[in-house]
Structure 1
Amino acid sequence: ARTYLQKHLSMIADETKYAVRDAVTRRMLGNVDETFVLSLDDSGAEEDGTPRRFVMAGRTWEVVDADSEKVELLVAPVSEQGEAPVWAGELPPVPADIAREAGAIRIAVAESHGWSTGVEESASAEPRGSMVGLDPWLTGDAVTYEIDDYPLSSPSLALLAENVAEHIEASGCLPHARLLTLERRRDAIVLNSTHGSRINETLAHFLQAMASNIEGRVGRVLVDPYRITLQVPGLTPAGVVEWLTETPPEALDDLIRLSIPNGRQLRARMVQVCKVFGVLHAGVDPRKVNLGGIITRYRGTPLVDEALDKLFSERMDIEGTTDLLRAIQSGAVELRMTAPGALGISPRGQRDLLLPNWSATEVRERLKNRLVNERVVLVCLRCKDWMRFRVERYAEKHHRCACGGAMLACAREGLEDRLKEWVVDDDPAVRNRMQRNAELVQLRGKEAILCLLARGVGPDTATRILRRVPAGDEEMLLKTIHEAELQYARTRRFWG
């Protein structure tokens, strides 16, 4: 009974941790949890097929490989500047009341400077339906305060006022609890909604599910407590307005329950519930389990219902979102299309905490440091004698064996025993591979050794690399090796 209690009824979720390894330096960076891994496919991509990017150790990384046969994720540093990481984790949700009051603070800042905020227009609109039971923030009855009532420092107040002024100048109004604004940006549609994490998460999933019917693609959605960014092919602001103003609020629960099982958001909760119900054993890597099949098989049972309820209680607020739809359709909350403003993009504070991303030159330098510090073994094909040294110390004395032979096969030190076996193997394929290996070392020396020490680079790939790269062009050589390593990491699961 005690064992069953520990394995199935513990309040602490039984989650597996996965190591994260840098593909360039081969160093371990840290660990990620099950929720992160289950949101990826085997190639490490998002639902829309784009590579997952996230922050670890103060830098932005891109997932290269998430093979379920491995207990680690392989990542590469992102060298492009200005790319915001897609994965923000699951932080404690910001309650709706806090987010709504943040919107009220923006209004208070604007009013303290005498700026027009658009609140007057929203307040003068006559409701078209009943507002009974709605939150005071949605009906305009919530208690608000003057800006002097908040303990804001002068620098903070100045920064907030600057953002508010920029937004008003661009859009002519400020989003708040009773005003949602829609902005069409170059690559996305932004819905400014100061209604907190859980309501915005529910609203975002609803809009994404509806938008996926346009071209059959789910696209990408970024959610925070104050805005929803939708990047879905074919989506227009008019479509968002139509869904928010014409979808019956009472249908929201059914729509969410129908669409959630088709996405990745349910996976982590499904794994936790399956372990509690005994469908999955503790310690089983959930990536090796057909979770989609389990969801399909148990749809409509307490197993899936419990997973859905767990997701809804932790990340969504269907009741609060239903009230918001009621308020929009009754006229208590206005939905307005505006020009893009400063408040429609996430604050830069998160990005300011990051270290500068590595440039392409720095990435190649890190790769070079790894390769030149590898220990390599050369075995003579004539006398089978061998020599061992660090790549950085490769010199003219390593060009020939003591017997005078110039055909030296190369491998990293960890493969020394196997290399010695390969050079005496009678298999024609193995002997041919060793011959080509030695020919590359004879022709290109250290450059060939650097290629052959790279992950997933054998004589064939090394030959292609060296054909492309002129002798002496170290920068291009390292760039090509880096590309070959990433390609191998992405495709290694398909190799025999």
Structure 2
Amino acid sequence: LSQEYIKETLKQEINFKSILEVAVIGTHPLNWKTWHVAKRFGVVSKDSKYDKRAARLIKERFKNTPLDREIMRELILEKYDLKNTLEIMEKIKQEIITIKYVRVSEFSALARPILDYARTFAALPLTVEKSIIELVKKRLEETNNKLLCLTCGNWETVIKPKNLMNVDINCPRCRSRIVTRTYVSDMEIGKIIKKKQKKKKLTRDENIYYRKLWKVSSLIQNYGKEAIITLSAYGIGPDTAARVLRNKTDEEDLFRKIYFAEKVYVTTRGFWKE
């Protein structure tokens, strides 16, 4: 992984709670917590022995109920430190905490067990529950995206994919179709576009980012709203998005592929000590 890719990822606005809710699906900690909370709620008798399959069925059956919310609340409270994670990530963005990049020939003693754990998720199922696909769809269609014109550099807007018509996306000022997309809190993108418009020399990092914006624009020109939805997902950049969009067969298959791509991202990146 390049330093630029890591820097870009660390700048992203990440909803860690949503990532955890996806990452823990089907895991032992979630099943175990489901079983014990279900006992307290009287869903299963107090003397019942733990049953992994029954725990999964309970979690699915009581989705979006007080029982489901209590399961996730307790699991996150007991196993994860979201408050300090968010504080650390914010300090990294503000460069209060700096990241030192070191190339090594082998993984460290700390990294090895993390990677071994991540490998247990490598064999993803061929099918996924339709209800999970619907959750992914709802989340991505509700995600705010910042759109900007790369031609005139004088237009930008924030919009949710659900409010986009499935037609060509154009700049309302100059009518250009060279429109790109980024996350809402990205305050550097406008400066880079203006700098390019004035024919000023970009730094190496700015050039890399600007080329990425053109890749994103190309995807939007070819796939429209679906490109913006795909790029809204966790850990999906223009290269992965191109592969997902190129291989999807229909809308349901698109969100299924996005779900699997997010799962891979979470299991291979989500355990890093940042």
Q: TM-score, normalised by structure 2?
A: 0.50
Contact 1:423 1:434 in 2 (8 A): no
Q: Partners of 2:262 and 2:51 in 1: how far apart?
A: 34
Partner of 1:395: 165
Deviations 1:166-205 (A, max 9, x none): xxxxxxxxxxxxxxxxxxxxxxxxxxxxxxxxxxxxxxxx
Contact 1:379 1:420 in 2 (8 A): no
Contact 1:381 1:423 in 2 (8 A): no
Instruction: Report how far residue 86 of structure 1 moved.
Output: 5.4
Instruction: Report how far residue 72 of structure 1 moved.
Output: 7.2
Instruction: Report how far residue 354 of structure 1 moved.
Output: 4.7
Label 1:350 to 1:420 Cα distance change in 2 as closer, same or farther (>3 A).
same
Q: Partners of 1:442 and 1:347 in 2: how far apart?
A: 46
Q: Partners of 1:346 and 1:427 in 2: how far apart?
A: 53
**Partner letter of residue 448 of structure 1?**
A
Partner of 2:268: 491
Partner of 1:370: 139
Q: Bigger radius of gyration, 1 or 2?
A: 1
Give the alignment's Cα RMSD to 1 decimal.
4.3
Contact 1:411 1:419 in 2 (8 A): no
Matches within 5 A, 1:223-302: none
Label 1:405 to 1:446 Cα distance change in 2 as closer, same or farther (>3 A).
same
SS in 2 for 1:87: helix
Label 1:388 to 1:88 Cα distance change in 2 as closer, same or farther (>3 A).
closer
Q: Partners of 2:216 and 2:149 in 1: how far apart?
A: 11
Matches within 5 A, 1:87-236: 87=32
1:439 and 2:218 matched: yes
Q: Partners of 1:349 and 1:77 in 2: how far apart?
A: 20
Structure 2: tracts of 5 or more residues without a match: 1-15, 37-47, 64-127, 197-204
Deviations 1:337-394 (A, max 9, x none): xxxxxx9986999778655277711111111111111222211111012233221111
SS in 1 for 2:61: coil
Partner of 1:482: 259
Partner of 1:415: 186
Label 1:395 to 1:348 Cα distance change in 2 as closer, same or farther (>3 A).
closer
Contact 1:80 1:357 in 2 (8 A): no
More helix by share: 2
Partner of 1:452: 231
Deviations 1:286-344 (A, max 9, x none): xxxxxxxxxxxxxxxxxxxxxxxxxxxxxxxxxxxxxxxxxxxxxxxxxxxxxxxxx99
Partner of 1:192: none
Label 1:491 to 1:394 Cα distance change in 2 as closer, same or farther (>3 A).
same
Instruction: Report how far residue 418 of structure 1 moved.
Output: 3.6
Match of 2:148 among 373, 379, 404: 379
Q: Partners of 1:347 and 1:479 in 2: how far apart?
A: 25
Contact 2:31 2:52 in 1 (8 A): no
Label 1:481 to 1:357 Cα distance change in 2 as closer, same or farther (>3 A).
farther
**Partner letter of residue 61 of structure 2?**
P
**Partner letter of residue 246 of structure 2?**
R
Label 1:418 to 1:355 Cα distance change in 2 as closer, same or farther (>3 A).
same
Contact 1:79 1:357 in 2 (8 A): no
Q: Partners of 1:440 and 1:495 in 2: how far apart?
A: 32
Q: Partners of 2:147 and 2:53 in 1: how far apart?
A: 52
**Partner letter of residue 394 of structure 1?**
L
Label 1:431 to 1:456 Cα distance change in 2 as closer, same or farther (>3 A).
same
Instruction: Report how far residue 437 of structure 1 moved.
Output: 0.6
1:468 and 2:247 matched: yes
SS in 2 for 1:450: helix
**Partner letter of residue 367 of structure 1?**
V
SS in 1 for 2:235: coil
Q: Partners of 1:483 and 1:352 in 2: how far apart?
A: 21
Matched length: 172
Partner of 1:117: none
**Partner letter of residue 130 of structure 2?**
T
Structure 1 runs of 4+ with >4 Å offset = 71-74, 76-81, 83-86, 343-355, 422-426, 493-496
SS in 2 for 1:382: coil
Match of 1:406 among 174, 177, 184: 177
Deviations 1:205-237 (A, max 9, x none): xxxxxxxxxxxxxxxxxxxxxxxxxxxxxxxxx
**Partner letter of residue 387 of structure 1?**
T
Contact 2:231 2:237 in 1 (8 A): yes
